[in-house]
Structure 1
Amino acid sequence: MQSSYEPNAVEARWYPIWEESGVFKPEVNPDGEPFTISIPPPNVTGSLHMGHALNLSMQDVVIRRRRMQGYAALWVPGMDHAGIATQNVVERQLAVEGISRHDIGRDKFVEEVWAWKAKSGNRITEQIRTLGMSCDWSRERFTLDDGLSKAVREVFVTLYEEGLIYRGNRIINWCPRCHTALSDIEVEHRDEMGEMVHIAYPYTEGDGAIIVATTRAETMLGDAAVAVHPDDERYAAVVGKTVTLPLVGRQIPVVADDGVDPEFGTGAVKVTPAHDPLDFEIGQRHDLDPITIMDAEGRITTEGGQFVGLDRFDAREAVKTALQDSGALIGIEDHEHSVGHCSRCSTVIEPRLSLQWFVKVKPLVEPAIDAIKADEARFHPKRWEKNYFHWMENLRDWCISRQLWWGHRIPAWYCECGEVVVSRIDPEACPACDSTDLTPEEDVLDTWFSSALWPFSTLGWPEKTADVDRHYPTSVMITGYDIIYFWVARMLKMGIHFTGQVPFPDIVIHGLVRADDGRKMSKSLNNAVDPLDLAAEYGADALRLSLIQSAAPGHEVPFKVEWVDAARRFGNKLWNALRFAVEHIGISDVPATGGYPEDPGPVDAWILSRLHDVVEEYDAAMERYRFNDAVGLLYSFSWSEVFDWYLEMAKTPLRDEDSGGTTRQTLGVVLRDLLKLFHPIIPFLTEELWSELVGEGLVAGSSWPTPPKVAGPEAMPVLQDLVSGIRRFRSEHGVSPKVPLEVRLDDPESVVAEWWADQISVLAGAAIVPGGRPDPIAGNARIPAGSVEGFVALSGVIDVDAERPRIEKAIAAAEAVAGKSRAKLDNPAFRDKAPEAVVAKEQAKLDEIDADLQRLREQLAELG
C-alpha cells in the first residue's frame, strides 16, 4: 500500500468495476425482500449543486446498507425535463445567434431542446457516478421518455374523465417575460420596499368617501367592489351602498366578506377579481364581474381607459399622478412587502385571470391527509406533519397548464362545434360532429404533474410490469423540506389515487445546504460551492462524509469547506490503520464474514464488545434515519477507540508471532467490519481497503456485520482514564515520554487486573509499584480514574523549586482573566443587553478558566 491515501487515484477505478459486476441491481439478492428508492430527479438544466450532493449521499447510505443486509435493493435514477428552466436555457443559447424560438417554429425548437438535453443529461449522470452513487443505470428514466409520457397521458385522461381536471378561468401566477403560468414553487418571494397608496372612493350618493390602500395602484382600474369585514362596525352602515371608482367613473358596491382582515390598513379593501387571488374568491362569492386591465405583456388594456398601452409600472406612476390631480389621492407611505418574482428570469410576476387547465385538489387531498394521520406514511422528523396538514387543508385548485413548447403536451383537441376532445390516443375526428378539423391544445403540463407520478411511473405503470409488482410501493423518499408541498404532497395524492397505496411509508426530510454564515448559496452572492470541485480536491468520499456528518434531521446545513478537509484527514487515518494492519495480517487471515475469535484476551474482548455495541447503536440510528448520529458514533468509535487505543494496545502482541494469533484475528475482523460499516458513507476508500485486507469479492456486495456479544473487561474505562491522566501529567509538567515514571494505585474496589501493568508501561511509560496510596500524599501527582486513584512520584521527575513559581504565576494570570470575565457577567448592562449567544460564550469562557484554576491549584498542592 502507498504511504498515504490518494483519493483521485482510488476513486477513478472502482465505479466501472461496480457497474460491471452488477452489484447495483436488485437481482444480486433475488430472494431478498425488496427495498426501493426513486431518486428525486435532478433537473436536466445543468450541474449538480451542494443540495444534490447531500440528498444523493443520504440515499446512497440507505440503499448500500440495505443491499448489504440482503435486500433486493433498487435505486431508480432519472432526470426531470424541467419545462420552463430548460426552455429558457435553450432560448438564451438561440438568442446569442440572434434567433428566437418563434423564428424556427415549435417542432424545430423542441428538436434543439432534445439535443441540448442529450448533452446536459450525460453530464449530470457522470457527476452522479463521480460521487459514487449506486444507482441501477439499466433502469434510468426521464420524465419525457415514452413510458413516462404514456403514464402522464393516462393520468390526465383518467382525471378528466373523473371530473377532476377541468378548463376554466382562474387567477394564476403569470410571468410577462416568459409568457406562461407558473407554479407557486417557481415564484421567488423577496421582501422589497414599495409604497402603500391611500385612495378615497367617494360614495355615489351623499357626502364622504371610503378610504382603501393598495401597493398596486394600477390595478384599481379593474376594481369591481370595495369589501369590508361583516363584523366591522365602522362600515356596518355603508354595506350595500355604492362608491364611484376614481379616474374611471364606474359605480361599484361595498360588500361584506369574511376574507377581509379588519386590522389591515383602514379595514376596507379594493376588490380586483381579475388580478388578485383573494379578490377573485371574493368576486365569486358576490357575483362580481372580473375586469382584465392587463394583457400577457403586462400592459394596460382598453379596459384601463386613458392608460391603455402603458407598461404596468409606468401605469402605476401615471395612476398616482392622475389620482393626485383629481384629489382622490389621500397619501403615500413607504411600505415593505413581499413581491413575487419568476424564479427563472426574475421578472415580477402578475396575478392574472386566465383560461387554464386545473386539477380539483380537494378529492385528492383528503386521502393524502388521512394516510399521514393513519401512520401509513410518516415524516422524519415528525414535526413536518404539522406544516403538511396546514398546507394541504388550505390548497386551491392546481393550475397544470403552461404556455411553453417543452414538456408533455396536454392531450386535448378543440372542434369548431365547441366539443373538447381529451383522449389517450390522438383522435381522427370529433365524436360530436365527425369533423376532422381538430385543433390540438398548444399548452404543456406543469413539470410537477409528471414528477407527481415518479414513484410508480418509473417502474413501468400503467403497464403491469414485474418492477411495479415487486418494487411498488417504494420504501423511502428522502428530500429537502422546500419541496414537501410541491412534490411530496403531490406524489402522495397521485400515488394513493392511482394505485390505492401510499408511494412510500417513510418521508425523510433534510435541510438546505447553506453558506457558513447561514445565507443561501447562490452565484449572485458569490458563495456557491461546486461539489464536483470539492470532490476533485478532497475526494468524493470526504465530501459525502462531511455532508452526512453535519446534517442533523430537518435542520439547515451551514457548510464549511474545513469539514471536507477534516473528512479527508479521517480517510487518511483509516488508510494508515489498514496499512499498519496488513503488515501484520495475511489476507487469508481475514474472511469476508464471521471469523470472530472464540477465546479473546482482555484487550481483544474489550474491542469486540465495543464493536458489537457500536453496530447495535449504529443500526438503531440508521433505522430512525438519524444519519449524523450514526456517522458521528462510527467516527468516534474508529478514531477514539480503535485507532487511539486498540491499535496501540495491539502493537506488542502483534510483534509476537507465537502468541499474537488471537490479536491478529481480532484486528482483522474489527477492521473488516469497520470497512463494512463505513462503506455506505465512504464507498471508494472502503472498497480499496477491502481489496487490501480481505482480497476477495467486493465490500459493496458483502453482508452486513453482525458481531457476537462478547463480555469485555468492565474496568477498561478506568484503565483508559489512568493512562490519559498520566499522559496529561507529562504534558502539564513538560515531562518527556522517555522519562520513566512510577505510579502507585489506590484500588479500594479491586478493579485493577494483572494485565494492566503491561498496558500502562506501553501506553504511558509508567511502572506500577506496590504500596497502594502513599502517605503522605504531598510529593505525588494525583491521577483520578473512576474508583481508582493513581499517584505519580514527583521526586526525580520534575524540579519542584522551579515548578512552584511557574504554577503560581499561571494561577495569578488566570485569576486576573477570570476576574474581568466575572465582572463583565455581573454587569447588568452586559448580561441584559448583549445578544444571548455572546453572553453564553462569555460564561463558557469563565467556566473553562475556573476549571483550569482548579487544576492548577491541585498541582500546586501536590508539590507539597
Structure 2
Amino acid sequence: MARIEPHRHSVGHCYRCKTVVEPNLSRQWFVKTKPLAEKAIAAVETGKTRIIPESWTKTYYEWMYNIRDWCISRQIWWGHQIPAWTCQACRRMVVALDTPDVCPDCGSTDLVQETDVLDTWFSSALWPFSTMGWPDQTPLLKTYYPTSVLVTGFDILFFWVARMMMMGIHFMGEIPFKDVYVHALVRDEEGKKMSKSKGNVIDPLNVIDQYGTDAFRFTLAAFAAQGRDVKMSEKRVEGYRHFINKLWNAARFALMHLDKGYDAIDTANISLQDRWIISRLNRVARQTAEALDAYKFNEAAGMVYQFVWHELCDWYLEAIKPVLYDENASQAKTATLSVLWHVFREALVLLHPFTPFVTEEIWHSLPGTEGSIMKACWPEILAPGEDPAVEAQMQTVMDAITGIRNVRGEMNIAPSTALTVVVQPDAPLVGETIEKNSLLITNLARLTEIRIAMDAQRPKAAATVLIEGATLFVMLEGIIDFAQEQARLQKEIVKLTKELSGMNKKLGNEDFLKKAPPEVVAGVREKHAAMLEKQHALEATLARIQAMME
C-alpha cells in the first residue's frame, strides 16, 4: 500500500517534489499522489467503479494520469488543523493523533502546533468512511462501505471524486462507491449559467412557493438527460404543476368509487380497457425500473408522465365511467373497480420517487393501504401481465376515437352533436375489434351509430378517417352547412396569409435580425412556425370540404 507522506518544503529546490519553492510557499504540506492515483485509475478501468455518463471517464483519466503532488495545506483561519507539532527547543517535528506533551527527542514541553489547516478537499476525501466512525470498524462502516452511488456535478470530478477514490482505496482497501452519477447543471431557459450579476437566477424557494415542491422536482427529473444541462424556466414548472393537478383530480374521481382495497383482480370479468391498462402498467413499471437502474431519470419520468396523464387519466378513467356509474352491482363493475384500485395504487408508487408529497397525501386516502408509501414495494406484475395483442386492439379503438374527434374539431362540430360512422375494415380482425368495442367508441366519440361494412363505398358528404387496418367514414350530411363552412375557412386562410406575409418581411429584414434581442427574434420565429402550421391545417380541411361538395 502506498504511503501518504506529507512534508514541509524548504525554501529553494525541494528534493522530494522536484519543485522550486518560493519563500511564501515554504509552509505548504504535500502528499505524494501518483501511487494513490494508479489504484484509483485501475478501479475505473476494471469497472469496479463506473462513472455515468461514461463520457466523463475521459476527464477523470486526464486528471489522474497527469496528477501532481497534492498540496493539502491552507493558510486560512478555519478548517481541520494539521496534526503536526514543532519542538521549539530542538526543532523536531512530531506528527500524532493525540496532542503530545513532550518532545520525544529532547523532552521539551515547548511544542507549537502547525497553524495551517487541511485542504477542504482533503477533509472531504475522507467523507465516505469518516462519517461512519472510521478509524474504528463500526457496524455502520462494515454495513455501508463501500457505498452504492455518489451523485455529483462534473465540475468537482477531480476535486472531490478522484480524491475520495484515492483516500478510500488507501485507508479502507476498497473503493468508496460503485457508481458515480454525474448530474446535469441547472441553467436558465436560454442555457446560460445562472449569475446574480446577470439577474438570471431562479430562486428554488420562490418557485416551490408558487408551483409546489412536487412540480419543481418533476421538472428537474424530466429534463435531467445524461450529458445535457437542464434549461430551467418557470413555464416548464408551471406545466408540470398542471400534471400534479391532473393527478389530484384523478384521485378525487377514483376515491368517489373506491370504498375498499382489493386482494386480487377478477380477470374473468374484465373488459378490453381493463386488460389494456393492466398491460400498460406492467410494461411501464418494468421500463421505468430499467431506466432508473441506468440513471436515465428523464426517461423514467417521461414514461410515468405519459402513462399517468395520457393513458390512465385521459383514456382509462374516461372509458370506465359508464361502468362505474352503473347503479347495478354487476360483476363487470366489481372487476373494473378491482382493476382501478390496483392500477391507481401502483401508479402512485411509480410516481413517488418524483412527486413524494402529493403521492403520500393521496396514499393515506386510498382504501386498503397501510403506513407510508415510502415502505411500499415496487409494482409487481399484475395478472394477466403484459399483453401486446390487447394493446394493439385498444390502439385500434383509440385511433378510431381520435380520428372521429379530429373530424369534429376540424369541421367545427359541437360536442353535443351525435354522429354516424361507417367502418370499412381491411382485415376481419380489425372489424371484430371495432364491433366488439362499439359501445366504448360510441360513448367516447359521441356517436348515434357505428356500422361495420366490409364493402362500403365512400358516401357523399362524409369525412374520411384512415387508421391502421380500416377506413372510417364520418357522415356529415345534415350536420354542417358545407357552403358556409367553406366560406368561413377561406376567410380565415386569407387573414392568416396576410399575417404571415408581414412576418416573412420581418424575418427577411437583416436589420431586425441583427438589432433585435435574440429572445424577440426567437419569439417571432416560433409564432411564424405555429401560424404556418395552422394555415396548412386549414387548407387541408378546406380541401376536404370541397371534396365532399363535389
Pick the TM interval, shorter chain.
Answer: 0.7 to 0.9
Matches within 5 A, 1:395-406: 395-406=67-78
Matches within 5 A, 1:331-410: 353-410=25-82
Which residue in the other structure is 1:745 paired with?
Answer: 423
Which residue in the other structure is 1:112 paired with?
Answer: none
Show CA shifts across 1:779-821 (max 9, x none). 1101122222111111111001211223344555667778899
Q: Is 1:779 aligned with 2:461?
A: yes
Residue 163 to residue 604, structure 1, CA distance change in 2 (3 Å): closer
Task: Give the letter aligned to residue 164 of structure 1.
Answer: E
Q: 2:177 aligns with which of 490, 498, 504?
A: 504
Unaligned runs of 5+ in 2: none
Structure showing greater radius of gyration is 1
Which residue in the other structure is 2:380 paired with?
Answer: 706
Show CA shifts across 1:93-119 (max 9, x none). xxxxxxxxxxxxxxxxxxxxxxxxxxx
Q: Is 1:756 aligned with 2:442?
A: no
Show CA shifts across 1:188-240 (max 9, x none). xxxxxxxxxxxxxxxxxxxxxxxxxxxxxxxxxxxxxxxxxxxxxxxxxxxxx
Which residue in the other structure is 1:421 paired with?
Answer: 94
Report the secondary structure of 2:147's partner residue: coil
Q: 2:470 aligns with which of 788, 792, 817?
A: 788
Which residue in the other structure is 1:597 paired with?
Answer: 266
Contact 1:678-1:686 within 8 A present in 2 as well: yes
Which residue in the other structure is 1:649 paired with?
Answer: 319
Contact 1:590-1:693 within 8 A present in 2 as well: no
Residue 445 to residue 729, structure 1, CA distance change in 2 (3 Å): same
Whole-angstrom CA distance in 2 between matches of 1:163 and 1:697: 50
Q: 1:483 aligns with which of 156, 162, 182?
A: 156
Residue 577 to residue 530, structure 1, CA distance change in 2 (3 Å): same
- Segment of structure 1 superposing worse, 743-752 or 547-556: 547-556
Q: Is 1:529 aligned with 2:202?
A: yes
Shift of 1:698: 1.8
Which residue in the other structure is 2:371 paired with?
Answer: 697
Which residue in the other structure is 2:414 paired with?
Answer: 736
Report the secondary structure of 1:358's partner residue: strand
Specify which structure has the higher proportion of helix.
2
Task: Give the letter aligned to residue 654 of structure 1.
Answer: L
Whole-angstrom CA distance in 1 between matches of 2:394 and 2:4: 71
Shift of 1:824: 10
Which residue in the other structure is 2:489 paired with?
Answer: 807
Which residue in the other structure is 2:84 paired with?
Answer: 412
Q: Is 1:727 aligned with 2:408?
A: no
Whole-angstrom CA distance in 2 between matches of 1:861 and 1:823: 34
Show CA shifts across 1:520-556 (max 9, x none). 2233333333323332333222221121112212322
Task: Give the letter aligned to residue 293 of structure 2.
Answer: E
Report the secondary structure of 1:736's partner residue: coil
Show CA shifts across 1:552-609 (max 9, x none). 12322221122222222211211111111111111x2345xxx333332211001101
Whole-angstrom CA distance in 2 between matches of 1:529 and 1:820: 36
Shift of 1:513: 1.4
Which residue in the other structure is 1:168 paired with?
Answer: 9
- Segment of structure 1 superposing worse, 413-422 or 763-772: 763-772
Show CA shifts across 1:325-354 (max 9, x none). xxxxxxxxxxxxxxxxxxxxxxxxxxx644
Matches within 5 A, 1:458-473: 458-473=131-146
Report the secondary structure of 1:383's partner residue: helix
Shift of 1:840: 9.3
- Segment of structure 1 superposing worse, 526-535 or 414-423: 526-535
Contact 2:84-2:113 within 8 A present in 1 as well: yes
Report the secondary structure of 1:517's partner residue: coil
Whole-angstrom CA distance in 1 between matches of 2:350 and 2:302: 12
Residue 828 to residue 774, structure 1, CA distance change in 2 (3 Å): farther
Which residue in the other structure is 1:432 paired with?
Answer: 105
Q: Identity of aligned pairs, percent?
A: 41
Matches within 5 A, 1:191-206: none
Contact 1:461-1:468 within 8 A present in 2 as well: yes
Residue 749 to residue 774, structure 1, CA distance change in 2 (3 Å): closer
Whole-angstrom CA distance in 2 between matches of 1:378 and 1:616: 23
Which residue in the other structure is 1:516 paired with?
Answer: 189
Matches within 5 A, 1:39-118: none
Show CA shifts across 1:823-849 (max 9, x none). 999999999xx99x9799778976775
Task: Give the letter aligned to residue 689 of structure 1.
Answer: I
Report the secondary structure of 1:479's partner residue: strand
Report the secondary structure of 1:475's partner residue: strand
Report the secondary structure of 1:737's partner residue: coil
Show CA shifts across 1:370-415 (max 9, x none). 1111111111111111111112222222221122332211100001
Report the secondary structure of 1:697's partner residue: coil
Show CA shifts across 1:648-683 (max 9, x none). 001011122223011111111110000111111111
Shift of 1:434: 2.0
Whole-angstrom CA distance in 2 between matches of 1:631 and 1:851: 32
Contact 2:458-2:473 within 8 A present in 1 as well: no
Root mean square deviation of aligned Cα:
3.2
Residue 623 to residue 840, structure 1, CA distance change in 2 (3 Å): farther
Contact 1:807-1:860 within 8 A present in 2 as well: no
Shift of 1:358: 1.2
Shift of 1:435: 1.7
Whole-angstrom CA distance in 2 between matches of 1:703 and 1:861: 57
Q: How many residues align?
A: 528
- TM-score w.r.t. structure 2 length? 0.88
Task: Give the letter aligned to residue 555 of structure 1.
Answer: R
Residue 441 to residue 384, structure 1, CA distance change in 2 (3 Å): same
Contact 1:825-1:843 within 8 A present in 2 as well: no
Contact 1:169-1:356 within 8 A present in 2 as well: no
Whole-angstrom CA distance in 2 between matches of 1:368 and 1:502: 8
Whole-angstrom CA distance in 1 between matches of 2:205 and 2:501: 50
Contact 2:319-2:444 within 8 A present in 1 as well: yes
Report the secondary structure of 1:763's partner residue: helix
Contact 1:675-1:690 within 8 A present in 2 as well: yes
Residue 524 to residue 817, structure 1, CA distance change in 2 (3 Å): closer
Contact 2:489-2:538 within 8 A present in 1 as well: no
Report the secondary structure of 2:190's partner residue: coil
Shift of 1:710: 4.0
Report the secondary structure of 2:466's partner residue: strand
Contact 2:462-2:473 within 8 A present in 1 as well: yes
Q: 1:552 aligns with which of 211, 218, 225?
A: 225
Contact 2:215-2:244 within 8 A present in 1 as well: yes
Task: Give the letter aligned to residue 596 of structure 1.
Answer: I
Contact 2:8-2:26 within 8 A present in 1 as well: no
Which residue in the other structure is 2:548 paired with?
Answer: 862
Shift of 1:737: 1.1
Residue 290 to residue 739, structure 1, CA distance change in 2 (3 Å): closer
Task: Give the letter aligned to residue 610 of structure 1.
Answer: R
- TM-score w.r.t. structure 1 length? 0.57
Task: Give the letter aligned to residue 168 of structure 1.
Answer: H
Whole-angstrom CA distance in 2 between matches of 1:762 and 1:363: 73
Which residue in the other structure is 1:299 paired with?
Answer: none
Whole-angstrom CA distance in 2 between matches of 1:748 and 1:819: 44
Residue 563 to residue 840, structure 1, CA distance change in 2 (3 Å): closer
Whole-angstrom CA distance in 1 between matches of 2:401 and 2:10: 78
